[in-house]
Chains A and B, each alone.
Chain A
């Protein structure tokens, strides 16, 4: 059974750095073709892909947010971490982590429940 769960602060102040952790089970990120992405959704708005890390430790970032994002993994802990620097109120959103597997090509086949991050002073 594949599960993913996001954790991190619910509230951050402007200019602070956000650190989110995705803890997963039911698959290994060392298996060829496996990837984990971070995706966010501001309240009432559309989904936005942020970053992806694959089994080979290759990392890909949203062009518009690339300078602020860092994604990393700890395969032994089954965790993927996203850091986003210089947070702004417009970054208020629900942040999801999601899996991509070889079975479904570049699609996100399993998602966490999401964690709402509010940016406010």
Chain B
């Protein structure tokens, strides 16, 4: 099972919106509405930001939103803030044999 494909880096200025893509296949992203997104600051554990494609856990800012079209999921960060600078990973359920697959990760830089 190959990792989901994400851009290596995305950048934006404070206040702007950015979108991170996560491309999988019809066996994972395309088959299940079970895509999640994680934020990871250097030296820290990942933090759940989005689950089931577009749902936000309690306490996560509504500046973070998720969507999916076909085999590609997306995470949008609106009103970019300095604290959003981190690595972001998508993850998708891929069926009972492969189970879970993570993305390649995207480094978000706030200019």
Chain A residues within CB distance 8 Å of chain B: 37, 39, 45-49, 52, 60-64, 96, 98, 104-109, 111-114
CA–CA, A112 and B1, complex, Å: 25
Query: B96 at interface (Cβ–Cβ under 8 A)?
Result: yes
CA–CA, A96 and B34, complex, Å: 21
Contact count A vs B, C-beta below 8 Å: 69
Tell me if B100 and A106 are in contact (CB < 8 A): yes
Chain B residues with CB under 8 A of A63? 1, 97-98
Interface of A is mostly: loop
- Of chain A, the residue at the smallest CB distance from B99 is A60
Chain B residues within CB distance 8 Å of chain A: 1, 3, 34, 36, 38, 45-48, 51-52, 55, 57, 89, 91, 93, 96-105
Chain B residues with CB under 8 A of A114? 45
Looking at the assembled complex, report how far the CB atom of A97 sits from the nearest CB atom of chain B, in whole angstroms: 10
Tell me if B48 and A107 are in contact (CB < 8 A): yes
Known: A106-B36, A106-B93. A46 touches B102 (CB 8 A): yes
Interface centre among B34, B45, B48, B89 (most CB of A within 10 A): B45
Chain B residues with CB under 8 A of A113? 45
CA–CA, A64 and B98, complex, Å: 9
- Of chain B, the residue at the smallest CB distance from A46 is B105
